Amino acid sequence: MSYPTPRRRPRSLARIAVAVACASVMTFSGLPVLTGGVEAAPKAKRCDEMYGVRGDPAKPGGLPADSTIRREADWDEYEFDNPRQAMDGLTLPSDPAERTKFLDEIGEDSSRYKEGDPKRVYATYNNNQKNGTRPFAGTFDEWLNEVYIENYARNRRGAAFTAKIVRDLNLVGPDWLCEEYILDKDGKTIRKYDAANHRTKEFVEFKSGGAHDTSQPPKDRVVLKDPRYQDYKLRYAFGQEQEPKTRTAVRNLGADIGNDAQGRPRVTTYEHRSTAVVRYTPGPHSRYDSTLNAKPGVNQGSRGGGNDMINRSAPNPETARQQIERARQLDTTGQRVRGPGGVDFSTLELRFVGAPVKGEGLDYSFSAKKMPDPDTNPGAGGKEKAELVSDSFFTWLALTPDKFWVNLNPDQPDKIMDDRFGETDAGRVLLEADLDMKHDFAQTMNPSTDRGARFWDSLSRVDGRPCLHSIRNWIVPQPAQVREQDGGIYILDAPLKVNSVPQEVNTPVPGGTCDLTKAQIEHNQSLVNTMILPEVEKKINNHAAYADLRRVYTSRVAAEWIRLQDAEKATDYRAIINSNEVSRWPIRGAKWDKNETWQRYLKSFKEGDYSFEREYGGRVYVYTVGGVDFSQAPKKNITKSEFTTAHPHLPRTTQTSVKAMTDDAETKNILYLGGNTTVKASRGGGATPEPPSNDGGSGGGLPITGDSLPIGLVLTFAAALIAVGSGMLWWTRRRRRFQS
């Protein structure tokens, strides 16, 4: 047995000797000492070289000198790879015994399995639960998304955002250095900055989201008060709107550090608003859902940034707070982006549906308000609201429009609503909204309020007391403001209206009837129309109590548009339209009966919502009858110039939202989030799996980031160098013996 004679052996052995010597210094002395007695931290590298960015060093680059936000016209997106996103559909057996057996068979050693193999995921989770210093306390699904997938994404997303900033702001040339370590007089690391420019005297910290690392401001104080850096500035650059706690922390830091000699703040923030879009290929282990999907199937269905947020949304505020707390603990670096806790799902509405191309599905987008303080009051219940939107959409398609009404009339217990419509959540929402409207109508006339007192004092009188005729009130859609463009329809506004007319009923009313003349009735109705209806309409269009009604109405507008498209050319929805088959979308949640709602209404009608006594004495009751009629879905398609003027950024925002949740560039407190109805396992960007920096296993899965040099990692690497060096020396000597 022989080996080929190695070439240039003396130089190889010299290299081995150097490696062993360096490793020995690193192992036993810490970091190697350079000439001059200065401790060696990792040397900063030119930002353009580190991130492979081309620019023009001759052109001035840099961050804004004052705290500001990127102008809305420039908001855009950037991509980063995270193949683990394709594993978000994995589940464990629900039975505890079966789950334990399943995990025991897979084991705890994730290195046995390749990246992309679901067994690697299960083994990592198993190791975390059995051997982790901080076993994850939530469910497997929460661990999968919050640890296994997110830990893998965090550094990649942060690096992609940094590269984007370097490129967008032209932070190129020899003056712009990235990964700059600041040492104290003893050579110990105080702080690591993402970028520094010692010519312009500024440090920069990049955050792809809107959070911050709570350990950094104290270190920033030390650096910025150091005589060496007393005229330096610190600039924070965020990819999203700053979280309230971050804004407070940076503001406090700035107040402590003060201004420079020219009176300008030394600590500033810049929000380089841009949306991170994950790149991966959906596969057989991905989660697909049925949102707006006409034909859900194996390894296919709706997916998108909105779907991810909705599926990860906690079911209630308490579990949402637990989710937020876990996110803080897992993200010590402040690199997290806005999660489902930052979304007010109670305001979720469908705002765009794209072209319904047969076999290709369609893009869709929701809007929702931001939670103003998710740390203390996070959003929850996203799945429930999205299901209502989707189920209502299909209800409006499946049933013929003549069934889209409800009616609460004391004389008509047999005409509450169509039976099939009564089997759906859309029907339930309409009937409950009708009853709520009647209560609100009565309360708006309550004479204990200034408006109610003026209303009753202005009514026609019979025998010295105010008397009100019976009224029929019902809710109808007003024309929705839409724009048909880009192959789809933008639903800009979908207001609702309350109609009111006099109506006689046979059912006895409390307090008896009023014998009013036609002129008196017209006078009273005029007061109702001017003093009461506007307030009730305002509540229906804005109050949280009617959010579900508004939600199902926007779904009605979208469904009607799909009907029109299908009439021209067959879509995936053709078999559903006018089928009168709604068994796929039954009422979810607690059991509901339309007759029980009617009985509650009848009680209110007979007994009154309230009573009061005035100077004229006696008891007066308010009673109303009416309904909700969605049989029509009127819309007004605004012109292109009107749309462009009023909503210049909406097309871009909508397109981005299909891939990832994003800020609305036109309304500060609004988010857009969406997806596509027919994403398939074979469709996607296709990111090649790479070795992960952390599996999210033992200690909760924290990535190696932060200010301090990871000495433990250096020591481990140094020990490995010694082992490799010794092994190579042994191997070289062994070869000589074989060759002699």
Neighbours of 228 (CB within 10 A): 9
Q: Would residue 316 count as lying in a domain?
A: no
DSSP letters along 179-191, please? EEEEE-TTS-EEE
Q: How far is CA 91 from the centre of its chain?
A: 22
What distance in Å separates the CA atoms of residue 711 and residue 693, rounded to the nearest whole number? Answer: 16
Angle between helices 96-106 and 118-131 (to 10 degrees): 110
Q: Would residue 648 count as lying in a domain?
A: no
pLDDT of residue 42: 85
Res. 331 pLDDT band, cuts 50 70 90: confident
3-state secondary structure at position 624: strand
Provide the domain limits for residue 396.
382-637
Structure-model confidence comparison of residues 351 and 32, the more confident one: 351
Is the same domain home to 589 and 446?
yes
**Percent of the chain clearing pLDDT 90 (strictly above):** 72
Task: State mean pLDDT over 594-601.
Answer: 94
User: In 3D, which of 481, 396, 393, 401 has the Cα closest to residue 677?
Assistant: 393
pLDDT of residue 462: 86
pLDDT of residue 722: 34
Out of 153-157, 257-261, 290-294, 507-511, pick the least confident.
507-511
Residues 369-425: pLDDT tens digits?
Answer: 999 989 889 999 999 999 999 999 999 999 999 999 999 988 899 999 999 999 999
Task: State mean pLDDT over 430-436.
Answer: 96
Q: How far is CA 126 from the centre of its chain?
A: 29
What distance in Å separates the CA atoms of residue 488 and residue 669, rounded to the nearest whole number? Answer: 24
Q: Would residue 241 count as lying in a domain?
A: no
Q: Would residue 269 count as lying in a domain?
A: no
DSSP H helices, 53-131, are: 96-106, 118-131
Is the same domain home to 417 and 557?
yes
Is the same domain home to 477 and 570?
yes
User: In 3D, which of 588, 593, 681, 634 has the Cα closest to residue 479?
Assistant: 634
Q: Would residue 611 count as lying in a domain?
A: yes
What distance in Å separates the CA atoms of residue 407 and residue 388, rounded to the nearest whole number? Answer: 21
Residues 108-134: pLDDT tens digits?
Answer: 999 999 999 999 999 999 999 999 888
Does 698 score more than 70 pLDDT? no
Does 525 score more than 50 pLDDT? yes
What distance in Å separates the CA atoms of residue 629 and residue 124, rounded to the nearest whole number? Answer: 54
Q: Parallel, antiparallel, or unpaired: how do β-strands 635-637 and 624-629 relate?
A: unpaired
pLDDT of residue 503: 83
**Tokens 């010519």, residue located:** 199
Q: How far is CA 270 from the centre of its chain?
A: 22
Is the same domain home to 619 and 729?
no
Residues 11-70: pLDDT tens digits?
Answer: 443 443 334 343 333 333 333 333 333 446 789 999 999 999 999 988 989 999 999 999
The two structure tokens encoding residue 352: 């765009």
3-state secondary structure at position 216: helix
What distance in Å separates the CA atoms of residue 168 and residue 48, rounded to the nearest whole number? Answer: 11
Structure-model confidence comparison of residues 359 and 558, the more confident one: 558
pLDDT of residue 535: 97
Out of 200-209, 261-270, 397-406, 599-608, pick the least confident.
599-608
Is the same domain home to 566 and 459?
yes
Is the same domain home to 501 and 614?
yes
Does 633 score more than 90 pLDDT? no
Where residue 60 falls (left for φ over 0; alpha for ψ -120 to 50; beta otherwise) is beta
What distance in Å separates the CA atoms of residue 120 and residue 83, rounded to the nearest whole number? Answer: 13
Q: How far is CA 501 from the centre of its chain?
A: 43
| 380 phi, psi to nearest 5 deg | -155, 170
pLDDT of residue 177: 97
> Is residue 638 within 8 Å of residue 647, measured between CB atoms?
no
pLDDT of residue 694: 52
The two structure tokens encoding residue 689: 């799996």
Q: Would residue 146 count as lying in a domain?
A: no
Is the same domain home to 627 and 720?
no
Res. 512 pLDDT band, cuts 50 70 90: low
Rounded to 5°, angle at Cα 352 from 394 and 387 = 40
Structure-model confidence comparison of residues 16 and 647, the more confident one: 647
Is the same domain home to 446 and 582?
yes
Is the same domain home to 575 and 486?
yes
Res. 622 pLDDT band, cuts 50 70 90: low
Res. 511 pLDDT band, cuts 50 70 90: low
Is the same domain home to 427 and 561?
yes
Task: State mean pLDDT over 505-528.
Answer: 82
What distance in Å separates the CA atoms of residue 720 and residue 714, rounded to the nearest whole number? Answer: 10
Of 577, 610, 637, which residue sits at a domain end? 637
What residues contact 452, with CB distance under 8 A and at least 6 apart?
444, 445, 446
Structure-model confidence comparison of residues 738 and 443, the more confident one: 443
What distance in Å separates the CA atoms of residue 574 and residue 589, rounded to the nearest whole number? Answer: 28
Q: How far is CA 413 from the centre of its chain?
A: 43
What residues contact 632, with CB distance under 8 A and at least 6 apart?
401, 476, 477
439-457 burial by CB neighbour count: b if 16+ within 10 A, else e?
A: bbbbbbbbbeeeebeebbe
pLDDT of residue 728: 37
The kind and range of the H/E element at 674 are strand 670-680
Neighbours of 633 (CB within 10 A): 20
Cα Rg for the chain, rounded, in angstroms? Answer: 33
pLDDT of residue 695: 57
pLDDT of residue 505: 75
Of 621, 637, 653, which residue sits at a domain end? 637
User: Across the beta sheet with 177-183, what order do the strands follow?
Assistant: 45-46, 177-183, 189-197, 202-207, 233-238, 267-271, 68-69
Q: What is the mean pLDDT of the chain?
A: 86
Q: Would residue 115 count as lying in a domain?
A: no
Structure-model confidence comparison of residues 460 and 707, the more confident one: 460
SS3 content of the chain, % helix, strand, coil (to 5): 40, 20, 40
pLDDT of residue 613: 62
Is the same domain home to 613 and 719?
no
Strand partners, 483: 490
The kind and range of the H/E element at 407 are strand 405-408
The two structure tokens encoding residue 130: 């059995």
Strand partners, 672: 367, 662
Number of domains in the chain: 2
Residues 281-321: pLDDT tens digits?
Answer: 999 999 999 999 998 878 889 999 999 999 999 999 999 99
> Is residue 709 within 8 Å of residue 7, measured between CB atoms?
no
Task: State mean pLDDT over 250-276.
Answer: 97
> Is residue 489 within 8 Å of residue 352, measured between CB atoms?
yes
pLDDT of residue 183: 95
What distance in Å separates the CA atoms of residue 339 and residue 208, rounded to the nearest whole number? Answer: 13
What residues contact 295, with CB distance under 8 A and at least 6 apart?
572, 678
For every residue of 415-455, which 3-state class applies, written as one string?
CCECCCHHHCHHHHHHHHHHHHHHHHHHHHCCCCCHHHHHH
Q: Would residue 41 count as lying in a domain?
A: no
What distance in Å separates the CA atoms of residue 113 and residue 126, rounded to the nearest whole number? Answer: 13
Is the same domain home to 477 and 592?
yes
Of 612, 637, 662, which residue sits at a domain end? 637
Task: State mean pLDDT over 684-710.
Answer: 39
First to last CA, the chain: 12
Residues 215-241: pLDDT tens digits?
Answer: 999 999 999 999 999 999 999 999 999
Does 703 score more than 80 pLDDT? no
For every residue of 275-300, which 3-state class applies, written as one string?
EEEEECCCCCCCCCECCCCCCCECCE
